[in-house]
């Protein structure tokens, strides 16, 4: 039998090598200079140990006290986060051409600033746990919420990513949010501003855009989209308010889509399932879709319309 692969494989390889030398974004070869997604995901898991220290088994270190555990994990996070931030900053035009020492100084300051915000993040997450437990009759305990609820995991990662976003760290916040998205099916852009007592029930298919603003005591159910009205402007829309504002004590049921940067859902409103909204509603409004006509027939029956 003729060996076709041996005859042609080297020519194909030569074509591949030539193709990656064209200088496009897809042709980048300097892997060591860019953030490492696996390292960022590992940092997320260590951050979860810092915010929920009693819920993670320490498989590496023998811990004698809470201070010892926090010290070990925080120093570990500081070392690896500093490295990933430094790599990310090299993608920032502000730091283009700066010597490595300046980049390292900046990455260390950001790392320390971020770690200093952990108590604030825990404060917000404590209210999120309350919202989930109080709002879900199926929840047997707050411990169950912390250990197993995908909504809390997605919001926890978002609260990490959002702080880095506020500090203008490139790339890393998005790596974090996309990891949570892949694990939970909940897509929260790190730029979204989310208040305390945030409730996500089930969560699968939720999308929250970058410039979304969400107040306190807001409840979202599966399949909700808080999105942009149009993205045809592409990069020209960068920096503009493209996503809705949801005020305090709003409930949005499954499958609802609320779009547009000028759209404001007033406080204490309820948005029903499968509603499509592109304009604001005042406080205390209930919005729902009028009951649709259901038509049923058996195989023996004929639909005459």
**Pair (276, 228) in one structural domain:** yes
In a domain, 15, yes or no: no
In a domain, 295, yes or no: no
In a domain, 299, yes or no: no
**Pair (93, 180) in one structural domain:** yes
**Pair (148, 204) in one structural domain:** no
Domain boundary among 185, 218, 235: 185
In a domain, 55, yes or no: yes
Residue with tokens 């169950």: 144
**Pair (173, 101) in one structural domain:** yes
In a domain, 84, yes or no: yes
**Pair (198, 174) in one structural domain:** no
| CATH code of 248's domain | 2.160.10.10
| CATH code of 172's domain | 1.10.3130.10
Answer for the pair 243, 262: CB distance below 8 angstroms, yes or no.
no
Task: Considering only CA atoms, give the Rg of the chain.
Answer: 24
Give CA–CA dist 39/52, Å, rounded. Answer: 20
pLDDT of residue 3: 84
Question: Which range has the worst mean pLDDT, 128-142, 150-164, 250-264, 280-294?
Answer: 280-294
Collapsing DSSP to helix, strand or coil, 270 comes out as strand
Answer for the pair 74, 66: CB distance below 8 angstroms, yes or no.
no
The per-residue b/e assignment along 264-283, b for 16 or more CB within 10 angstroms, e otherwise, is bbbbbbbbeeebebeeebee
Strand partners, 277: 258
Domain boundary among 185, 204, 231: 185
**Pair (122, 267) in one structural domain:** no
Give CA–CA dist 236/98, Å, rounded. Answer: 28
pLDDT band at 304 (very low <50, low <70, confident <90, very high): very low
pLDDT of residue 32: 62
**Pair (181, 69) in one structural domain:** yes
Domain boundary among 153, 185, 217: 185
In a domain, 177, yes or no: yes
pLDDT of residue 116: 97
Q: When comparing pLDDT for 18 and 155, which is higher?
A: 155
Query: Which residues are CB-neighbours of 50 under 8 A, at least 6 positions away?
Result: 70, 73, 74, 77, 118
**Pair (52, 69) in one structural domain:** yes
Q: When comparing pLDDT for 146 and 21, which is higher?
A: 146
- The closest of 304, 201, 213, 298 to 254, measured between CA atoms, is 201
**Pair (180, 52) in one structural domain:** yes
**Structural domain for 262, as ranges:** 192-289
The answer to whether residue 301 scores a pLDDT higher than 60 is no
In a domain, 113, yes or no: yes
Mean pLDDT of the chain: 90
pLDDT of residue 185: 97
**Pair (217, 168) in one structural domain:** no
pTM, two decimals, is 0.87
Answer for the pair 164, 196: CB distance below 8 angstroms, yes or no.
no
Answer for the pair 274, 268: CB distance below 8 angstroms, yes or no.
no
**Pair (96, 179) in one structural domain:** yes
pLDDT of residue 188: 98
**Pair (132, 87) in one structural domain:** yes
In a domain, 16, yes or no: no
Please state the domain count of the chain: 2
Give CA–CA dist 227/178, Å, rounded. Answer: 17
């Amino acid at each position: 039998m003729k060996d076709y692969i041996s005859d042609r494989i080297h020519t194909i390889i030569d074509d591949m090598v030539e193709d990656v030398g064209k200088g496009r974004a897809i042709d980048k070869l300097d892997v060591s200079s860019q953030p490492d997604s696996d390292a960022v995901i590992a940092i997320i898991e260590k951050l979860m140990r810092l915010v929920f220290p009693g819920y993670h088994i320490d498989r590496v270190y023998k811990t004698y006290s809470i201070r010892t555990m926090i010290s070990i994990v925080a120093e570990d996070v500081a070392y690896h986060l500093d490295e990933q931030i430094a790599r990310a900053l090299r993608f920032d035009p502000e730091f283009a051409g700066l010597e490595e020492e300046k980049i390292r100084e900046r990455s260390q300051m950001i790392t320390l600033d971020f770690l200093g915000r952990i108590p604030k993040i825990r404060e917000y997450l404590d209210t999120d746990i309350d919202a989930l437990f109080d709002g879900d009759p199926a929840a047997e305990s707050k411990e169950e919420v912390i250990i197993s609820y995908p909504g809390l995991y997605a919001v926890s990662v978002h609260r990490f990513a959002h702080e880095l976003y506020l500090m203008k760290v490139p790339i890393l916040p998005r790596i974090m949010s996309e990891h949570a998205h892949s694990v939970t099916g909940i897509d929260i852009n790190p730029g979204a501003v989310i208040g305390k007592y945030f409730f996500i029930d089930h969560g699968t298919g939720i999308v929250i855009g970058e410039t979304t603003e969400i107040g306190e005591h807001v409840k979202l159910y599966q399949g909700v989209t808080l999105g942009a009205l149009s993205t045809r402007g592409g990069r020209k829309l960068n920096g503009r308010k493209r996503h809705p504002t949801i005020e305090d004590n709003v409930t949005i049921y499954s499958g609802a889509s609320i779009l547009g940067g000028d759209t404001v859902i007033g406080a204490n409103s309820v948005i029903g399932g499968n509603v499509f909204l592109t304009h604001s509603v005042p406080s205390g409004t209930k919005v729902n879709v009028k009951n649709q006509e259901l038509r049923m027939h058996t195989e023996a029956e004929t639909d005459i319309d």
